[in-house]
Structure 1
């Protein structure tokens, strides 16, 4: 059986699919070897006459393909030489090479195929590993600064003795006052092994502590018991990374100990990840020998991946289960959901999924760059290709329209008389909370100022009508709470599972 591809999500948070990491192949002597093999085959075909005329036809096709490839490579070499020797300014060789690679990959017209530089490669690997390089502390905004919620076990923050409620006032001597939480976190992150100095306030005292950054794991599976006496285990899976299958099995065992009788698995907003993780997790719910998914190569042949001990280690879950999906559920999340739906009879609740049905491989180069290209389709157990179609839920329950609003990316855009997309998004925030009655047209006019003042009075802030960081943060928090309180899909899933025996 061929190596199983890995899946991942790219840097733009768009759903991608599986990949195989491999070293860049050596091209030297490949043409010469094929020429030799083809010559031998041709001689054999001639020797036996017309009986094997089709062999000659195949040889001609291969020779024609090789000639076209050689012509194309000569043209690329000619362009490279012409530019490097005649362009009016010196040209960096690596820049030319990267441009050529990008051009070839972009010519495919496939948004899931790309050439990635070093930083993009590192970001991809962090996503796959579900980790990042930093100090290892959960943090939140606290006034102008950042406060530690909890240091993560066995991380630099924990080893250095940092405690909950410690306030981080500066990073490497630079104050975090006025920084957004994301900006402050980015100041603390860096390459593994590098040092970072934090200025900490604990109670009334201040002190400095120097930490060595390390690889910090991120939890991708969360769970809890809901439904009161009904004892429903609720599991959310944010992505499919290296440790997700292990975390998922741990969650199932923990919920079992807590007395869970039924399960709701939330795949909403999950952009995908490792295909192997999806296979391991889906196999837990499916009888051995039944199909989890299929991978179809470009020659049309399809390989079936079936449930069994190879993936689940003999661990099975038979509790009544429901899966939540939405437009953000993609690739591995769709593999998992489709497998449970078609091979285990599990009902899907929510809205139509994204529809990502292709598989990518990733080739790693010696300069730490990578190239990702689409190499196959993946199909559901019954052979359906859901690409650009998605999975249709059994019970349709859409989230409120404001649940899909994007974030405000630039605070300075939210000022009087400005016109831009961030203002329109902000107006939609206010509209969802009931403070803005006009049209969300992207113009920050008097009606928007009035709405801001009304909200600031409600939130017990100074009613200036101007949007500062505190005002925006409170609006975003209140909107998130409203989305959670009006989660019709969640309610529908709970109602369905409650009636399932």
Structure 2
């Protein structure tokens, strides 16, 4: 599943008014949007000053140019033209000129798929994506999803799907191609840094549950709460988790929003308010003009449920949007330390307007700011304590479509050599050459894992090796261990 993070359209029919939806990443209240529209209409009714008149004159001149080009192409182009394509092309061109990965024009199936939300159950691979340049970038894989299990990471670029280039595709078109029924497969071509590789994923039902909680095994007075996304039930799930952990003896908490791509901002605000004193700022939303709208912690948000125990928050480069709002609110308004690596950096607000039954466009209408007024867009939140996974956690995924054997030379072999060393098998020189030392390491790994001892890196061995790496990464969670250490003092 690729999360589109949009609120569902209003099911009630309102024929004479266009439907509008706001990005779930950052929700702007309908009253605020209505205010923008109201101000614009007031200017029209009251009268226009010279500057406004000049602006409208300029706009009219520009529209006349567009109309002139359209008419010329329609009437004089040497081949018959498709009027719909011409209009769509003009709209796409205007939006593309914004150079904004979150603004796009959607028509046909692209538009209809925007109605899906993270409040339901989906079948897919479980990752949020966005447009970046001419291709598609992964923002964050969801915990427990096929994408996460396959080792896909934030900032990976999807250059092809099932062999077809994604160049020029919208995020929604990419979504359509990746989604599919449970147990069916999709092959992605991924570019990570200078390396490019293919990975085949088996689609699955993406879990709706957004909160996982438990006591730490070694420190049973510390509760661990993982928030995988900010969906409709998340506030209730977090509240229930804290209540249960308290009954089990928890005196402090680790809140984990790593690889959390975001979700409904209202949920992020409600949960943030649990940890922040009433009246203190949670976030700010600022449109192009006017003062910022400030959101503050309050009983109306958290229902009076407060958490005053010591808390640490874990973030990484997959923590985006609503999870960044949450982390920034706790960090800047409740002095909660952030542990991990720099977050993704998504600091803008989108509005989606429906043009017709089959088309709509999404544009960025505002930016959101942290409590102290910082704009983290493309910069992310910097943790108070930097804690990275071991280097092998950042290795690229190696495709299991090939077999490597003695005397082969290839870049993926170098990656597999690093993985062999990480799991305790010495491959000798790590240089991409499959020599005798590498063969011995592979044979030893196969013996330790009850595989046929062929000495070859075949698909089964590669899968087993990468599964072993994933397990080892989980067992060496540096950021989590640092949080436990801090709370144990």
Query: Taking structure 2 as the reference length, what is the TM-score of the superposition?
Result: 0.69
Alignment of 1:284-303 (within 5 A): 284-299=274-289, 301-303=291-293
Contact 1:413–1:420 (CA<8 Å) still a contact in 2? no
Partner of 1:198: none
Deviates more, 1:483-492 or 1:472-481: 472-481
> Unaligned 5+ residue runs, structure 1?
1-6, 43-58, 141-170, 190-215
Alignment of 1:251-266 (within 5 A): 251-266=241-256
Larger radius of gyration: 1
Contact 1:16–1:271 (CA<8 Å) still a contact in 2? no
Shift of 1:372: 2.3
Partner of 1:412: 401
Aligned-partner Cα distance in 2 for 1:405–1:369: 41
Q: Aligned match of 1:402 in 377, 386, 392? A: 392
1:234 aligns with 2:236: no
Partner SS for 2:471: helix
The structure-2 alpha-carbon separation of the partners of 1:36 and 1:461, relative to structure 1 and needing over 3 Å to count, comes to closer
Aligned-partner Cα distance in 2 for 1:92–1:487: 56
The structure-2 alpha-carbon separation of the partners of 1:473 and 1:21, relative to structure 1 and needing over 3 Å to count, comes to farther
Aligned-partner Cα distance in 2 for 1:419–1:343: 54
Deviates more, 1:99-108 or 1:336-345: 99-108
Aligned-partner Cα distance in 1 for 2:414–2:111: 34
Contact 2:414–2:430 (CA<8 Å) still a contact in 1? no
Aligned-partner Cα distance in 1 for 2:278–2:62: 49
Aligned-partner Cα distance in 1 for 2:183–2:335: 55
Contact 2:273–2:298 (CA<8 Å) still a contact in 1? yes
1:8 aligns with 2:16: no
Count of matched residue positions in the alignment of Structure 1 and Structure 2: 400
Partner of 1:79: 69
Q: Aligned match of 1:310 in 275, 300, 305? A: 300
Partner SS for 1:115: strand
Partner of 2:55: 65
Contact 2:28–2:349 (CA<8 Å) still a contact in 1? no
Q: CA RMSD in A?
A: 4.1
The structure-2 alpha-carbon separation of the partners of 1:427 and 1:290, relative to structure 1 and needing over 3 Å to count, comes to same
Alignment of 1:467-486 (within 5 A): 467-486=457-476
Partner of 1:101: 91
Contact 2:402–2:459 (CA<8 Å) still a contact in 1? no
Alignment of 1:370-385 (within 5 A): 370-385=360-375
Q: Aligned match of 2:336 in 341, 346, 349? A: 346
1:270 aligns with 2:260: yes
Aligned-partner Cα distance in 2 for 1:304–1:220: 27
Aligned-partner Cα distance in 2 for 1:464–1:405: 25
Deviation track 1:182-215 (CA, whole Å, cap 9, x = no partner) reads 76546xx8xxxxxxxxxxxxxxxxxxxxxxxxxx
Aligned-partner Cα distance in 2 for 1:246–1:363: 30
Shift of 1:237: 1.1
1:244 aligns with 2:252: no
Q: Aligned match of 1:359 in 308, 333, 349? A: 349
Shift of 1:60: 1.8
Aligned-partner Cα distance in 2 for 1:494–1:325: 15
The structure-2 alpha-carbon separation of the partners of 1:490 and 1:133, relative to structure 1 and needing over 3 Å to count, comes to closer
